[in-house]
């Protein structure tokens, strides 16, 4: 017989967030001790023991959190989305010489630490140290980027780009996806989707800046330009981010009940597997057409920007749809379609084909970044533990990011012609497998199909 925790988690699957009355906005359970409603209208009270009212679902302050979150995504996932340009540049051997697998370790560790650091930043956020996380995280991202501009060896780039920028981004990411949903209930998916679209804009601007400036002023000043952009755009989040829910007392650093909440753990496993295929796509979408001579080096750099431009709407429209039909009803089929399109990369033989694939796969991959934070919140009954739960979930799922790059580099090989068929089959299989797990969650309640909300 399933445990009470698991049964409670199953009942939360596929719910569309509704405005709260006397119950929790997402779960239908009693409101947690960290989010007890008081008067429906009126500003949230301040102080560690304050009990705020229902989420405002709008207003200047609430939407300001979304704009601030937009710039956090711009400088975390947006900067990570620039790695295809770094991968292509490092492959040229102009900065240092090493294998594709070793180069992929830089991006993989950077992505992994962004997720793993959440196991620390989540509980620290729950304890009320949001401003400290913002200051330290912003400094590490900017400092690591500036140090990268001075690197001439592989190990130096690994320390600056992978470890320093990765940890800094991790200190920012989980607090952001924990904070924004507390200001919304009926518009939660849309709010998170708009904020996460910042990573798409960053993934467009940063690759273009980097690729253009490398040829004009060289690699060091191109990277410094990115650092200065990050420094300027971190100002708004540091000033504007504001708690709505404050935990009345310190929480445990790890929520052990999460490991017996089977819907939560199953979804975390699905995200881990999704990240493997999605990261392979992200790292090699630029190098693939150049190596196969579908494009020249200049256009190959722009493929990453095209990919991220396509993901902009993929982070907003599916999230807005999820507010109406449910997050699992949205995420499961779109993930399956993403897996199928990865197999379609094998049929690409020219520049036009790779551009179309970049747009389509970019749109679909946006779902992988934008919807999991909403899903984690819905699968968390006690909203006062949202930072801890989100941090744990993304930390576990982050192992998929760590595995993706090196395993892909190993499959690809070092001898021409490279094994692109094996690489795209590997990516497609992992994404399709994760979509089957999501469909399993979608149809898991009492062994019957959950009702689709239209």
Quick check: is 148 in a domain? yes
| Residue 81 confidence (pLDDT) | 80
Tokens of 170: 């991790």
What is the number of domains present in the chain?
1
In angstroms, the CA 178 to CA 247 distance is: 13
Query: What predicted TM-score, i.e. pTM, was given to this entire model?
Result: 0.70
Quick check: is 49 in a domain? no
Quick check: is 44 in a domain? no
Residue closest to 25 by CA, chosen among 435, 306, 412, 383 = 383
Quick check: is 32 in a domain? no
Quick check: is 315 in a domain? yes
Q: Cα torsion at 333, 336, 341, 343 (round to 10°)?
A: -160
Among 119-128, 154-163, 188-197, 381-390, the minimum mean pLDDT is found in: 381-390
In angstroms, the CA 196 to CA 190 distance is: 10
Provide the mean pLDDT of the chain.
80
We report the CATH number of the domain holding residue 131 as 1.20.1250.20
| Residue 376 confidence (pLDDT) | 84
Q: pLDDT tens across 20-66, in order? A: 433 333 333 333 333 333 333 333 434 444 455 677 777 888 899 99
Quick check: is 130 in a domain? yes
Quick check: is 29 in a domain? no
Quick check: is 36 in a domain? no
Query: What is the mean pLDDT of the segment spanning 304-311?
Result: 84
Domain that holds residue 206: 4-22+55-244+255-447
Between residues 171 and 7, the one the model is more confident about = 171
Q: pLDDT tens across 222-258, in order? A: 999 999 999 999 999 999 888 876 666 655 667 788 8
Q: Is the confidence at residue 141, as pLDDT, over 70?
A: yes
């Amino acid at each position: 017989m399933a445990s009470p925790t698991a049964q409670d988690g199953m009942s939360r699957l596929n719910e569309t967030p509704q405005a709260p009355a006397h119950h929790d906005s997402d779960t239908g359970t009693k409101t947690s001790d960290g989010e007890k409603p008081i008067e429906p209208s009126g500003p949230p009270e301040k102080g560690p023991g304050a009990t705020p009212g229902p989420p405002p679902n709008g207003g200047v302050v609430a939407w300001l959190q979304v704009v601030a979150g937009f710039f956090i995504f711009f400088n975390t996932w947006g900067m990570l989305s620039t790695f295809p340009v770094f991968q292509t540049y490092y492959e040229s051997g102009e900065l240092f010489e090493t294998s594709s697998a070793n180069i992929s370790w830089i991006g993989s560790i950077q992505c992994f630490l962004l997720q793993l650091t959440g196991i620390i930043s989540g509980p620290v956020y729950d304890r009320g140290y949001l401003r400290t996380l913002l200051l330290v995280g912003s400094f590490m991202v900017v400092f690591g980027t500036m140090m990268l501009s001075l690197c001439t060896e592989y190990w130096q780039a690994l320390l600056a780009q992978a470890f320093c920028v990765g940890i800094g981004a991790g200190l920012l990411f989980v607090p952001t996806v924990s904070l924004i949903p507390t200001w919304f209930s009926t518009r939660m998916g849309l709010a998170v989707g708009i904020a996460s679209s910042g990573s798409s804009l960053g993934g467009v601007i940063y690759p273009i800046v980097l690729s253009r400036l490398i040829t004009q002023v060289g690699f060091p000043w191109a990277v410094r330009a990115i650092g200065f952009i990050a420094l300027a755009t971190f100002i708004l989040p540091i000033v504007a981010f504001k708690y709505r829910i404050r935990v009345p007392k310190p929480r445990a650093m790890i929520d052990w009940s999460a490991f017996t909440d089977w819907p939560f753990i199953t979804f975390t496993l699905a995200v881990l597997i999704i990240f493997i295929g999605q990261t392979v796509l992200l790292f090699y979408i630029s190098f693939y057409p150049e190596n196969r001579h579908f494009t020249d080096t200049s256009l190959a750099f722009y493929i990453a920007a095209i990919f991220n431009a396509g993901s902009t709407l993929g982070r907003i429209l599916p999230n807005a749809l999820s507010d109406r039909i449910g997050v699992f009803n949205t995420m499961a089929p779109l993930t399956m379609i993403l897996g199928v399109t990865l197999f379609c990369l094998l049929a690409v033989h020219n520049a036009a084909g790779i551009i179309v694939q970049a747009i389509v796969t970019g749109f679909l991959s946006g779902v992988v970044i934008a919807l999991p934070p909403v899903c984690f919140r819905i699968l968390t009954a006690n909203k006062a533990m949202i930072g801890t739960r989100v941090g744990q979930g993304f930390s576990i799922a982050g192992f998929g990011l760590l595995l993706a790059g090196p395993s892909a580099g190993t499959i690809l090989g070092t001898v021409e012609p490279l094994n692109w068929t094996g690489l795209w089959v590997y990516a497609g299989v992992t994404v399709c497998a994760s979509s089957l797990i999501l469909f399993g969650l979608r149809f898991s309640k009492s062994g019957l199909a959950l009702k689709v909300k239209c």
